[in-house]
Homo-oligomer: A and B are copies of this chain.
């Protein structure tokens, strides 16, 4: 169990397990095997066991994992056994949709503050929260003990705003601007890039990929039809 290396994908899968376990719990199962959990998330049983084993031994040989307890352990590992105070910066299209997005609150991510630098928006009300100006940022983030910021501003102003946010001591940012933001090493940032996902689908369609199963993530078979037909220079092929 020494020098564990926990990959980003392991953490993402924990999120999936957590959601699956929520369902399993509603179905009144007390235990679940790695096999069944894997089936529900289209993974392999070994993958499930390996992922969980990084964090401890939660199961019982011969029996499986206790649903409630495993769910609680994963919540603990992910840090969602508590609630988080969240501020949202940028109350445009995406921003205002996110204020109303129920899944955040359901998982304990509570949007407490809204900010925008547009004078016309300041003071307006979204779901009972009134929009503050960026001047108030630092004081309000501190007073409301905000630990996490969702950034939904245009790409052009994102870097300046993220600098400001970082100066206020925020260590975790979920960014919706389609741009690579620079932050100090001790600040965590994740970027949601919705266009990139559409581009991935576009790539899949035009290259007629054999659909990736959940077990094999490699996309073989690129090329033949599309690349040769349209004259790619592709070295030795």
Could you list which residues of chain A lie within 8 angstroms of chain B, going by C-beta atoms? 1-8, 11-12, 14-16, 18-19, 40-42, 53-58, 73, 76-80, 84, 86, 93-94, 96-98, 100-101, 103-104, 106-107, 109, 147-148, 171-174, 178-180, 185-188, 190, 192-207, 209, 211-213, 217-220, 222-223, 227, 230, 232-237
Q: Assess the B55–A103 pair: CB atoms within 8 A.
A: no
A171 to B209, CA, bound (A): 11
| 16 A-B contact pairs sorted by A residue (CB < 8 Å) | A1-B237, A2-B236, A2-B237, A5-B219, A12-B196, A53-B235, A55-B232, A56-B234, A78-B206, A93-B101, A94-B97, A172-B202, A172-B205, A185-B213, A188-B209, A192-B197
Return chain B residues, CB-CB under 8 Å to A18. Answer: 199
Q: Which residue of B lies closest to A213 (CB)?
A: B185
Which of chain B's residues have a CB closer than 8 A to the CB of A148?
Answer: 198, 201-202, 205
Contact A178 B12 (CB under 8 A): no
Partner of A101, one of B4, B94, B104, B237: B94
Chain B residues with CB under 8 Å of A106's CB are 195
Residues of B within 8 A of A187 (CB): 211
Cα-based distance from A235 to B1 in the complex (angstroms): 7
Q: In chain B, what residue has the closest Cβ to A217?
A: B8
Copies in the complex: 2
A182 to B86, CA, bound (A): 33
Are B219 and A103 interface neighbours, CB within 8 A?
no
Q: Which 9 A-B pairs have the closest CB atoms?
A: A97-B97, A79-B206, A79-B202, A172-B201, A188-B204, A93-B100, A93-B97, A15-B196, A5-B218
In the complex, are the beta carbons of B232 and A178 less than 8 A apart?
A: no
Among A109, A148, A174, A195, which residue has the most Cβ atoms of chain B within 10 A? A195
Chain B proximity of A123: nearest CB distance (Å): 21
Which single residue of chain B is at the shortest CB-CB distance from A232? B56
List of B residues within 8 angstroms of A235 by Cβ:
1, 53, 56-57
Inter-chain CA distance A3–B237, complex, in Å, is 10
Pick from B53, B77, B104, B223: contact of A4, CB under 8 Å? B223
Residues of B within 8 A of A109 (CB): 195, 198, 202
Indicate if the CB atoms of A199 and B101 lie closer than 8 Å: no
